[in-house]
């Protein structure tokens, strides 16, 4: 029974470590780096924020212009 507990624990730890290594390998990063720290998330947030500023200012400009022309 002790053997099976050790085997199950080893498989679980192996899956967790293997998933982290697999994520790093698939993204072309060093295997020992943090798999949860992604530049992709930072890049998406930066792009989203730039889009909000870009399109938000045009929407606000249109709203102000239409408010001035409406009686």
Cβ–Cβ < 8 Å for 31, 17? no
* pLDDT for res 15: 93
Cα angle: 53, vertex 54, 60; to 5 degrees: 80
Rounded distance between C-alpha atoms, residue 7 and residue 13, angstroms = 10
The structure's pTM equals 0.46
pLDDT averaged per 10 residues in sequence order, the chain, 71 residues: 92 91 82 74 82 82 77 60
* pLDDT for res 71: 60
Rounded distance between C-alpha atoms, residue 48 and residue 2, angstroms = 52
Rounded distance between C-alpha atoms, residue 64 and residue 69, angstroms = 9
């Amino acid at each position: 029974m002790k053997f099976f507990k050790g085997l199950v624990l080893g498989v679980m730890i192996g899956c967790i470590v293997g998933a982290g290594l697999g994520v790093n390998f698939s993204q072309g990063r060093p295997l020992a780096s943090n798999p949860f720290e992604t530049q992709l998330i930072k890049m998406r947030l930066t792009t989203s924020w730039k889009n909000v500023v870009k399109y938000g200012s045009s929407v606000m400009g249109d709203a102000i212009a239409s408010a001035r022309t409406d009686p």
